[in-house]
Each structure stands twice: as C-alpha cells, then as structure tokens.
Structure 1
Amino acid sequence: MSFEYKTKEQLRQDMLDNISNDYEKSKGNLTYDIPAAAAIVLNKIYDELQKLNDKVDVDKLNGTELTKYVRQRKGIKRKEATKAKAVLDIVGNATINIGDLFETQAGTQFYATEIVIIEGAGTVNVEAVIPGTNGNVGANTITLMPVTLQGVVSLTNTQASYDGFAEESDESLRERYYEAIQRPATSGNIYHYMGWAKEVAGVGDAKILSLWNGDNTVKIVIINSDKQPASSTLVDTVQEYIDPKGEYIEAEDRWTLWGTGSGQAPIGAYCTISSATGLNINVTADVQEEEGYTLEEVKTNIENSIYGYLKEIAFKQNYVSYALIGSAIINTEGVADYQNLLINGVATNISIGVEQVAILGTVTIT
C-alpha cells in the first residue's frame, strides 16, 4: 500500500467528515476548531512519515543516504575519486624517493610513487596529492619543487596528467543500482562482465563482445568517466581486476594467470580489456550570434554544448545525430541562428562503430 501524504486542510476535512452532521461544523464553532488543532499535530506526523517514505525511494536519495542504500541492498559501493597520474622528465643527478613533492605554478602538488636514481636525465612516475579532476593539468606545468631536492636541475611533464576523476556522481551510482536490479548479473553472463568493469574507479561505461575471438573469449571495451577513450593505465587496471594476465612465458606461449579465474571472471574464460577508439566529430557552421556576444564566446559555448551531447550518447547510441547537433547549436547561449551545418564534411548522421566512442574534434564557426 503506497503512502499518501495529507495536508492540514485534508486532515481537518477528514475529521469533520467523520463527525455527524447533527453538529454545527462551521468555522469558528468548537466542533470545527478542535479538528483544526488536531490536524496541525497530525500533519507534523505526516511530514515525518513522508521523510521515511522518501528514504526507501532510491530516486529521492542523494549523497551519503544514496551510498548507504545501494550498498545495503545490492552491495554496490560508490566509486571514490582517483588521483591523476603523470610522468616527470628530470634533469640532474639526484635520488628521487617515494613521497618527494613536485607542483605546478598554481600549487597543484604531485608526489613520486617510486624510487629513481637520476644520472644526467631520467623519468619518475608521480600522482596528484589530492584525488579528483584538479590533478588533471596540462603539459609542461609541473615544474616546481615545494622543497628543493639536491641535484635536480630542472623538471617538467612533457605530457598532460591523466586519470584524475571525481567521486562517482549520484546519477552514475543510481544507474548502476538500477542495472543490478533490472539486468541481474549471474554466472559470468554479459551483465556480470559489465558490472565488474563499471566497478573500477574511472570507468564510465563498457561494452561486452562475446566469443569475439573463439570459444571462451570475452572482450570488454571501456571508456572513462568523462566518456572519452580510456588510458592504457585504466585498461590495465580493469584487466587486472577481471582477468589478470600475469607474466608471459614465451616458451609456452601463454600468460601465467590469464583465464585461470584469478580475477572476477570465471575459470576458463579469457577476457581481454581494450579502450574504445575515439571517433573525431568535426563540426562546421555559419552562426549568427546574439547581440552582446563575441564569435569566440559563442564558439566556446557551442563546443561545450556539443561535448555534452556526445557525452550523453556515448555507448548508448550508434550514430551522431545531425539534427541533435543542430539542436545543440541553436540552443547554445549566444546563438541567434545558424546555417550550412556539416559534420565531418557531410550533412547527415555519422555512424559510430561498435568499438568507437564519438569525441569532440574541431569546431569551426564563421
């Protein structure tokens, strides 16, 4: 039986309706005033009942309450924020120890995750001190040392840092809960593999390709939490979790752990993890901007709109809609109108391959 909330007015009327019409029940009469007073108290009880009812409705839960709810009922844990990773090129003669700090001009700090002896030049792997997206910094930005390390002449990251992801959102956690309810994972079925992949922090979605390379073979294609191609580090992490390969024995042409059930996958199943390949979506259009906006501002807004659309359809739709790209443009702040829209040089939908994810390429606005 579903809970029906009642206001003070409804409660008062219910009580009045249960009093015989032999009594005078008009406003100002004692027979009216007593139920009105009782309705105020009863309504407070209904407020508390409504709160309790909301706590068993997963669509109305957020934050820690949602985390607790899905963990208790399905054992699903909210994915924690991850630390961005980077590789530093160091010039000098020094020993880098685990925990040595480096930072950007803006103060984003990274620490060494290994001991490395630098002789003239070398590299060291580092991770952001604070988990989350703030650790994703551009190339050649990690150039400072909070505490000077003897012998280090210079340092930089020639490539941008990567794989710094925020804590899993309520929307994502709720989606995984519904997947577990509506598509039960059991005995190594497709949904089991999908669930395992999406349990790994940083994985945004996954596709399962059954028997892709013969009997007992499974391929999982993943994208990251930003719905972009996954890094090799994230691919390796998922591989290790689901079906670790271990060490390769060349003489026997086999991996020591692959298919042995050393991970989540059942014994005898050979699971290969790979990243989706990015399909660049290049957009050109003639745009009439609204008064008060520059073309550069409008271009940035359009890029954000298209990026949001592509993120929304990642692994959900097998084509990029020409009409919806147009809709994203016309609904962009600062756009009055547009014409001559082309996507990858054509005015049609763009197909997305099974192992591809559409990503924003270039946006050319005139």
Structure 2
Amino acid sequence: MYEKETQEAILARMLKNVPRDVDKREGSIIFDAAAPASIEFMLLYAELDYFLKNTFGDTAERTYLIQRARERGLKPKEATSAVVKGRFTPLALNIPLGTRYSCEAVNYAVTEKLTGGEYLLTAETAGTVGNLPTGRLLPIDYVEGLQSATLVEVTVPGEAEEETEHFRARYLASFDSQAYGGNIADYRQKVNAIHGVGGVKVYPVWKGGGTVRIVFMTSDLKPPTTELVQKVQSLIDPEANHGEGVGIAPIDHIVTVEGAKNAAVRIGLHLSFAAGTAYATYKVQVEETVDTYFAELNKGWQATQRAEIDNVSNTGITIRISQIESRILAIPGIEDIQHTTLNDREENLTLGLDELAIRGAVQNG
C-alpha cells in the first residue's frame, strides 16, 4: 500500500516544503539534515505496511494468522503420531504394553491389545513419517518367547502440522457458515478435528428426523480401517448410548459413522510413442500420472457435497478424460492419445457419493 513512499520520494517532499531562498542542494545543511530523517520515515512506512498486511486474515503471516484465528476459536492442527497394527507370533504370547519396536527408521511403542497376536502401536515420532503400510518390526526391548513381529497396516494415519495456507482457508471458511448445535457445519468441524480424519460428508435426516449419517476418509485420502471407524463412532455417538448425547452429537441425534469406499477405475488408452519406444517404457510414468490426478480429486472429495447443502445437486467425484489425456501427453516421448475409456466407456465418469478414486487396470492398445 505504501510502495511509493521511498526515501527519495519522502526527501523530495520534505525539501519541497523548505522556502525557496534556502539552499537545498545536495551537501547543503538542510539537505544533510533531511536525508537521514527521510530514511527513518521510509522505514516507518514499511513497518506500517507490514502491520496492515498482518491485520487481515487473507494476507497475514502464520504467527499473526494464528492470533487472528483465535478470535474464532481456531488454531492450527498439531502434528500427530501414526497408530499402526502389528501382528506377533506366537499368538498366545502376551506382548507387554509399552515395549518398543522399530520399522525402517521409525520407532513404535505397543499401546493397546486387540486380539491374540494383534496389537496397536503408536509412532514415537509425530507426523507422516510413521505411516508405513507394512514391514518387519524389530524389537528394541527384549520380549521372551517372541518369534516374529510384523507391521500389517496403518490404523490411524499420522498427520503433519497443518500448513499455513490450509489453515488460512479453514479460517476464512469459518465465516461462510456458523457451526452450532449439531448442524452440518458443526459436524464437519468436529469430525475433521479428530486425529486421522481427512474429509467428511454429513447426511442429515438420513432415516427420518434425528438420524445423521457421517462418512469420512483418512488424512492420507484413503478409506478408514474398521478400528478408526469405531473410534470416530465412539467419539461422535457411541453405539451403546445412541441419541443420549454421550459423545459429540447433541441429545436425540442418532449418528451412524461409515468410511468412504475405494472405487477402482479401469483405464483404456491408445497411445502413440516416439520411434523405438513402447508402452513398457512409459508404464510407470503413466500410472504415477493417473495416481497424482486421482489424489487431487480425492483431496476435494468433501467439497463435492457443498452443492447439496445449497440445494443445487449432489454428485461424487468426476473423473475427466480430458484431464487424464492432457497430463499423459505431458510425458516426454508420448506423442498422441485418443479414444481413452473409463470403465470401458469413452466418457467422463462420476463416482458414487461416498467413493474415492483409485487406479484400476491401465491398458494400452
């Protein structure tokens, strides 16, 4: 806002106000007196511009954005630790809680027993580093009789500290609708705040008055495990106390929590390549390109329900052939593409309301 208030402009303005009969040339007494002051005034304008910028939520730096958001009861999500499921043999062996294991460069501690031979372990390092899908667990602490330990799946994904721009968008979105008393915005805000949740859709009056259906995906854009669904159900409205207001849900709200589902999409391609190359040369790049596109779509899965709230329409994720073709054509060596199909049809594909896109078989020819 004050970009024009340079030292030269300020000095010129100061000297303009000096009477004409006074020597204002460089090196004169008045010039040498005004020049240092003009520098200080320029710095004051810069500080004023910095202050003004950090007054508003859409331009504030992280520190001041956090202070601004506190006025609405918001703060950035902290980094959380991944919770994984481990399988131990022999199955009858009791694994002491708190014993530590390592997988690759991450250490985990046993925190809960599920069934014989299956335990939950929590990463000692917060963030996404603990989201290892599978691997061998090496004991750090000695457990007598232990034969093997394997990490089999991520139960609750670890999350990195919320990025500034994501937090800014969440802060600005808080003005669009007021979260209050079990309305849709309230459910969205509170379910998204649960560790491991990355997006949620809320279906009010699902089976009559007072019933609510909640569908969510994980923070790594995948369907949740059974354990995570049960955890969210218990926090929102425990099954043993449906409608009693024991959880986050208001009294008389009977809430059913479910996980989003994967929808594998078959892709048919007809590609032309640079001379001397074949599809095998580009297969990995093509598949990675599709995966990246699908991940972008899944990231916006929650937003596809906004149309329903505005009483316009309610659709699932739409996969567009033009997007797939343009991205694949950007791969060096692929010269042309035509007649692309999604699930054997040469047209865009809209998934179900609660479905996430994953790559199925990709065939060329």
Matched, 1:270 2:254: yes
Q: Give 1:100 shift.
A: 0.5
What residue is the counterpart of 2:213 in the other structure? Answer: 219
Amino acid at match of 1:171: E
Q: Any idea what SS the aligned residue of 1:264 has?
A: coil
Percentage of identical aligned residues = 27
What residue is the counterpart of 2:182 in the other structure? Answer: 188
Amino acid at match of 2:108: F
What residue is the counterpart of 1:251 in the other structure? Answer: none
**Cα deviations by residue, 1:96-155 (Å, 9 ceiling, x for unpaired):** 211111222x2322211136997xxx222222222222212233x133212331111222
What residue is the counterpart of 1:353 in the other structure? Answer: 352
Aligned residues of 1:322 and 1:348 also touching (Cα < 8 A): yes
Change (3 A) 1:29 1:311: farther
For normalisation by structure 2, the TM-score amounts to: 0.81
Amino acid at match of 1:124: Y
Q: Give 1:157 shift.
A: 3.0
Q: Give 1:45 shift.
A: 1.3
**CA–CA separation in structure 2 for the residues paired with 1:300 and 1:278:** 17
Moved more, 55-64 or 38-47: 55-64
What residue is the counterpart of 2:139 in the other structure? Answer: 145
In structure 1, stretches of 5+ residues that fail to align are: 248-256
Amino acid at match of 2:85: V
**CA–CA separation in structure 1 for the residues paired with 2:179 and 2:88:** 47
**Cα deviations by residue, 1:292-311 (Å, 9 ceiling, x for unpaired):** x9525533541453234323
What residue is the counterpart of 1:111 in the other structure? Answer: 109
In structure 2, stretches of 5+ residues that fail to align are: 305-315
Q: Any idea what SS the aligned residue of 1:271 has?
A: strand
What residue is the counterpart of 2:337 in the other structure? Answer: 338
Q: Provide the aligned C-alpha RMSD in A.
A: 3.3
Aligned residues of 1:102 and 1:142 also touching (Cα < 8 A): no
**Cα deviations by residue, 1:200-251 (Å, 9 ceiling, x for unpaired):** 2222222221101111111122122223223333323332333233x3xxxx
Matched, 1:285 2:272: no
**CA–CA separation in structure 2 for the residues paired with 1:349 and 1:26:** 73
Amino acid at match of 1:262: V
**CA–CA separation in structure 2 for the residues paired with 1:27 and 1:300:** 68
What residue is the counterpart of 2:289 in the other structure? Answer: 302
Q: Within 5 A, what are the aligned runs for 1:19-34?
A: 19=18, 34=33
Change (3 A) 1:309 1:114: closer
Change (3 A) 1:164 1:44: same
**CA–CA separation in structure 2 for the residues paired with 1:321 and 1:164:** 31
Change (3 A) 1:89 1:115: closer
Change (3 A) 1:97 1:69: farther
Change (3 A) 1:182 1:327: same
Change (3 A) 1:183 1:289: farther
Change (3 A) 1:240 1:43: farther
Aligned residues of 1:259 and 1:270 also touching (Cα < 8 A): yes
What residue is the counterpart of 2:308 in the other structure? Answer: none
Q: Give 1:179 shift.
A: 2.0
**CA–CA separation in structure 2 for the residues paired with 1:325 and 1:281:** 12
Aligned residues of 2:133 and 2:154 also touching (Cα < 8 A): yes
**Cα deviations by residue, 1:226-285 (Å, 9 ceiling, x for unpaired):** 23223333323332333233x3xxxxxxxxx22112222221111222222222233333
What residue is the counterpart of 1:59 in the other structure? Answer: 58
1:129 corresponds, among 124, 130, 151, to 124
**CA–CA separation in structure 1 for the residues paired with 2:115 and 2:214:** 38
Aligned residues of 1:310 and 1:359 also touching (Cα < 8 A): no
Aligned residues of 1:97 and 1:116 also touching (Cα < 8 A): no
Q: Any idea what SS the aligned residue of 1:44 has?
A: helix
What residue is the counterpart of 2:87 in the other structure? Answer: 89
**Cα deviations by residue, 1:312-345 (Å, 9 ceiling, x for unpaired):** 4323343222222333333457755433422222
What residue is the counterpart of 1:47 in the other structure? Answer: 46
**CA–CA separation in structure 2 for the residues paired with 1:269 and 1:160:** 30
Q: Any idea what SS the aligned residue of 1:56 has?
A: coil
Change (3 A) 1:164 1:117: closer
What residue is the counterpart of 2:310 in the other structure? Answer: none
Q: Any idea what SS the aligned residue of 2:297 has?
A: helix
1:313 corresponds, among 268, 282, 300, to 300
Q: Give 1:196 shift.
A: 1.4
